[in-house]
């Protein structure tokens, strides 16, 4: 920490940020933008593969449609509902197949990164996070590493569910058969 102390010096006093701290603000802003993009795209994709799974199996999903979105933000339910939705989609899309390991890795890493991490989930000013980084950098790094690893595992989840549905001959919402499944090229 600079000799002048933390950015927020209390009683409404702030010191000028260092170049490193300014850089952290930029990285945080970019990370927040990426989070908003993913938080928008993933539920849309999840809704589509859920519709495909329903068309493939002919069964109603275990979780009602509002849980696709509410499952991420309702306290306590957000500890299992999103993973349950993904597992339900896989069971309906690939009956008899084991749940891909990536699902459990994705969810475990996501949960590991959330309680101690920072980002859109916490209404803490960036200056407070900077102070925490000066005093407790390793927990922040561990949380960030877990979230980044969860994102990578999430890519494998998307690929696994999409591949399972394609093997059954589905390429988009409402279970339209693929050209391979219909014999047309």
Residue closest to 167 by CA, chosen among 107, 106, 96: 96
In a domain, 182, yes or no: no
Q: How many domains does the chain have?
A: 1
Weakest-pLDDT range from 39-53, 78-92, 164-178: 164-178
Q: For residue 145, what pLDDT band results from cuts at 50, 70 and 90?
A: confident
Find tokens 């102070």 and name the residue: 131
Q: Is residue 66 part of a domain?
A: yes
Q: Which domain holds residue 112?
A: 18-174
- Indicate whether 5 belongs to any domain: no
Query: Residue 12 domain-assigned?
Result: no
Is the residue at 181 inside a domain?
Answer: no
Q: For residue 121, is pLDDT > 60? A: no
What is the residue whose two structure tokens read 């589905």? 170
pTM comes to 0.76
Contacts of 91 (CB under 8 A, 6+ apart): 99
Residue 184 lies in a domain: no
pLDDT of residue 15: 73
Structure tokens at 70: 């509410």
Give the C-alpha separation, 119 to 21, whole Å.
Answer: 16
Q: Kindly report the length of the chain.
A: 185
The span from the CA of 94 to the CA of 175, in Å, is 14
Q: Is residue 180 part of a domain?
A: no
């Amino acid at each position: 920490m600079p000799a002048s102390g933390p950015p927020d010096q209390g009683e409404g006093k702030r010191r000028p940020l260092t170049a490193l701290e300014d850089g952290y603000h930029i990285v945080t802003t970019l990370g927040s933008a990426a989070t908003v993009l993913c938080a928008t795209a993933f539920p849309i994709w999840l809704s589509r593969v859920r519709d495909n799974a329903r068309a493939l199996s002919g069964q109603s999903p275990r979780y009602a449609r509002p849980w696709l979105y509410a499952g991420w933000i309702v306290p306590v339910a957000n500890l299992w509902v999103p993973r349950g939705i993904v597992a339900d989609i896989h069971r309906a899309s690939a009956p008899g197949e084991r749940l891909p390991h990536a699902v459990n890795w994705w969810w475990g890493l996501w949960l590991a990164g959330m309680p101690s991490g920072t980002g859109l989930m916490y209404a803490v000013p960036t200056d407070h996070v900077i102070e925490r980084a000066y005093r407790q950098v390793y927990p922040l790094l561990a949380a960030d590493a877990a979230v980044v690893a969860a994102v990578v595992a999430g890519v494998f989840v998307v690929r696994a569910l999409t591949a399972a549905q394609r093997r059954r001959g589905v390429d988009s919402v409402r279970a339209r058969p693929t050209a391979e499944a219909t014999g047309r090229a």
